[in-house]
Amino acid sequence: QVQLVQSGAEVKKPGASVKVSCKASGYTFATYYIHWVRQAPGQGLEWMGIIKPSGGSTSYVQKFQGRVTMTRDTSTSTVYMELSSLRSEDTAVYYCARGPPGTPYWFDPWGQGTLVTVSS
């Protein structure tokens, strides 16, 4: 079955970077897009951007431009999301989610989520 398995929880200090992984299985990795969505504690869902595994092209929400980098390793069917210059407001659960190629964008399934805590 299609599955996205994410790396474990992280605790980081303000100003540091975090890199979250998302390993895909059960389908042809290059065919589908991978999105990143985050959810601050008690808050709603926020889309961060997308990576297209076939060629590695990315598109980021303007809010995160300059701080986020999404990459992929086709040999292991794994996508990475790195967020730098962390601040307390970045404390959230970060989800990867698969999406069909092309637009419109939608998400199915989702990874289990990775809690990133930013605290001094």
Binding site for another protein (CB under 8 A): 35, 44-47, 61, 95, 97, 103-113
Integer Cα distance of 112 and 110 in angstroms: 6
**Of 17, 5, 2, nearest to 95 (Cα)?**
5
Nearer to another protein, 16 or 108 (CB): 108
Minimum separation from the CB atom of position 89 to another protein (A): 18
Minimum separation from the CB atom of position 10 to another protein (A): 17
User: Is the alpha carbon torsion for 45, 104, 64, 53 positive or negative?
Assistant: positive
Minimum separation from the CB atom of position 22 to another protein (A): 12
CB atoms within 10 A of CB 93: 18
Nearer to another protein, 27 or 105 (CB): 105
DSSP-based three-state secondary structure for 100: coil
Minimum separation from the CB atom of position 103 to another protein (A): 4
**Token couple for 4:** 């996205």
Nearer to another protein, 27 or 106 (CB): 106
